Homo-oligomer: A and B are copies of this chain.
């Protein structure tokens, strides 16, 4: 059964469809677990880094309940103990942090009974829920779909774990019939794929359920390349093994070498060697290695194979990028909702296993989708416009770390969202799924792709990012933008003006100033601040978390395009430097902005004294500060004001005037609000003073 369309004419028909889809998902999942012949097998740990299968058996039901409660669609728990035990631990997104606590797992019968109760609850929710079409992301129907699609993911991942269970614990089942066809593999060859523009990303109005990371847009210009017509078969991979590939570190990335040392792998994970012959473990059977089935490896092995092949052939053989995979995918004109028969071994439409690599052809390529997933060179990242779904904020965000690579195309057991063209799943590069690869011969040894926009989480930096680029509290203007606006009321820079934004922080004022000058040198003492501005320049986007309450966070994106800074960003130079000890080359400025800086310097007077020399004649020095003098930043003897002098109150404005008036004229004094957010509920709220000085 296919994932339901979000649209339709008749809500009641859609309600019935949703219920049927739920029931189909539920029963398919349970039928997989019915392959387990003895309940004790639920508690084995064939893969020591994962929870036993009992966890996964309960987990998909628990997920439904926990999301319904989070969304306030359900007001009571069904089994608090189970809903805690089977909620978190090792799922495919965070498989490396299994802790060593002792888990008091429920019995299989307990979980079966629990699943029954949850199913009834969900069915009656489906019966009674308000339902209007199209289904919106904040509706209960969406949460039902989320639970179904989540369970379908675990249908696949649990089937992978089952391939690790000793066969004695499993039983045959007519519903899970492996492909009966094995034979020699055809020899692989390369076939041209022409240059094209790939537009990726699901639109919000798309007709099918999507995970957050699928939405947004990314446009990639893909240069022509040649792709292997077939997935790499077991037969083809044996050449790599025979060439000593697993023993040749040179073919492996650094990460791959580390994994090799740890795993001591000598062949693919689901192979075994008995009496000098290779076998392959499938879901519920072990068969002599089927030469014409796709090899199943992790990214690291696929990458090593490509490196070996590149070396052997002297060609730039590598894995495709996500965009390059889509160049092939474009050859198939259908997608899950519209096909009558799947154009590949996918969606459980044909086999409960892989099948020969030459069975499903489109335009000269085989297995563009289905059979096994195909690793790519692309670490997963959100597209431009990415937004976290509030009910599942850790589905994607933890994987935007450059360590999770996308694989594409789906496997024989990929159903629902997994089988859609828009599907995007990523795993750690050492992880095993029903996954193999297709290699390509490209112009470049590495595909052109942007670095991953990981989430900045360091509170010191994220508070700065939020202050510069976040939404300020109602009624308060953005401090950086306002600073530039207020100084422009007094100063009209010439188009060729050269500007210094000293103490630029994460750079917002520099972007504003760049609209009004020819060059902006943006200097900050803190390298991590400069890195943020630089990343914005280079990547156009920057993501960061912000604290909402306790350890909870919101996910935010800064996007230069939306902010209108794309056009002038080339004028900005982000440079790390000490404001009190700037290199001589930083001079000849028409305008120097020292924004919120002086009360954070250890010798503010020393800083100010050198500004005169760095400015052009009639150049402007603009100082903003909340005059928040603290001994931690500035030894009291160096405070410019906020002290008693000769027993009298001596403000910072007094001090600035005394220091600057011999060489500057005071043009203007203004007051402006300054907000430094701490979390969703809290901010430092201050009044800054701006003084504008013109060089005499």
Chain B hits for A626, CB < 8 A: 681-682
Answer whether A550 and B642 are a contact pair too, CB < 8 Å, given A66-B647, A647-B87, A647-B88. Answer: yes
A646: which of B66, B627, B648 is its contact (CB, 8 Å)? B66
Give which listed residue, B70, B549, B639, B684, contacts A652 with CB less than 8 A.
B549
Chain B residues within an 8 Å CB radius of A686? 681-683
Asked if B550 and A646 make an inter-chain contact with CB atoms under 8 angstroms apart, the answer reads no
A687 on interface, CB distance cutoff 8 Å: yes
Q: Does A394 contact B (CB under 8 A)?
A: yes
Q: How far is the CA of A544 from the CA of B574 in the complex (A)?
A: 46
Asked if A13 is at the interface of the complex by the 8 Å CB criterion, the answer is no
Q: Which B residues are in CB contact (< 8 Å) with A116?
A: none
Check: A651 CB closer than 8 A to any chain B CB.
Answer: yes
Whether A394 contacts B647 by the Cβ 8 Å rule is: yes
Please report A residues at the B interface, Cβ cutoff 8 Å: 62, 66-67, 69-70, 83-84, 87-88, 393-394, 473, 475, 548-552, 626-629, 636, 639, 641-649, 651-652, 675, 678-679, 681-688
A639 to B551 CA separation, bound complex (whole angstroms): 10
Contact of A70 among B67, B475, B649, B681 (CB under 8 A): B649
The answer on a CB contact under 8 Å between B643 and A551 is yes
Q: Which residues of B contact A627 (CB under 8 A)?
A: 549-550, 681
CB neighbours (8 Å) of A394 from chain B are 647
Contacting pair A66 B648 (CB below 8 A)? yes
A679 CA to B686 CA, complexed, in Å: 9
Q: Kindly state the separation between the CA atoms of A183 and B427 in the bound complex, as whole angstroms.
A: 110
| B652/A550 in contact, CB under 8 A | yes
Min CB–CB distance A242 → chain B (angstroms) = 45
**CA–CA, A219 to B645, complex, Å?**
38
* Inter-chain contacts of A550 with B (CB < 8 A): 627, 629, 639, 641-643, 652
Contact of A649 among B552, B641, B685 (CB under 8 A): B552
Closest 6 A-B residue pairs measured CB to CB?
A550-B642, A87-B646, A685-B685, A88-B647, A549-B642, A550-B629
Residues of B within 8 A of A641 (CB): 549-550
Q: Which of B62, B551, B685 contacts A683 (CB 8 A)?
A: B685
Please give, as numbers and ranges, the residues of chain B lying within 8 Å of A645 by CB-CB distance. Answer: 84
Taking CB atoms, residues of chain B closer than 8 Å to A649 are 70, 393, 552
Contacts of A683 in B (CB 8 A): 684-686
A586→B53 CA distance, assembly (Å): 53
Known contacts A88-B647, A549-B629, A551-B643, then 11 further A-B pairs from the complex at CB < 8 Å, ordered by chain A residue: A69-B648, A70-B648, A87-B647, A88-B644, A393-B649, A394-B647, A549-B642, A549-B651, A550-B642, A551-B642, A681-B687
Is there contact, CB below 8 Å, between A551 and B644? yes
Contact A628 B551 (CB under 8 A): no
- Which chain B residue lies CB-closest to A72? B654
- The answer for the CA separation of A681 and B624 in the assembled complex, in Å, is 13
Contact A552 B643 (CB under 8 A): yes
A53 to B651, CA, bound (A): 31
A653 CB, nearest partner CB in chain B, Å: 9
A581 to chain B: closest CB distance in Å?
24
**With the chains together, A551 CA to B629 CA distance in Å?**
9
Question: A684 touching B681 by the CB < 8 A rule?
Answer: no
Give A548 to B641 CA distance when docked, in angstroms: 11
CA distance A642 to B552 in the complex (A): 6
Q: Given the complex, which residues of B lie within 8 Å of A685, measured CB to CB? A: 473, 675, 682-685
A678: B residues at CB distance < 8 A: 684
Residues of B within 8 A of A675 (CB): 685
Closest CB in chain B relative to A377 CB, distance in Å: 31
Task: Determine how close the nearest CB of chain B comes to the CB of A194; give it in whole angstroms.
Answer: 45
Query: Of all chain B residues, which has the CB nearest A627?
Result: B549
The residue on B at minimum CB distance from A688 is: B681
A511 shortest CB reach to chain B, Å: 26
Which of B84, B551, B646 is close to A84, meaning CB atoms less than 8 Å apart?
B646
Give complex CA distance A552, B628 in Å: 11
List residues of chain B with CB within 8 A of the CB of A548. 642
User: What distance in Å separates the Cβ of A656 from its nearest Cβ neighbour in chain B?
Assistant: 12
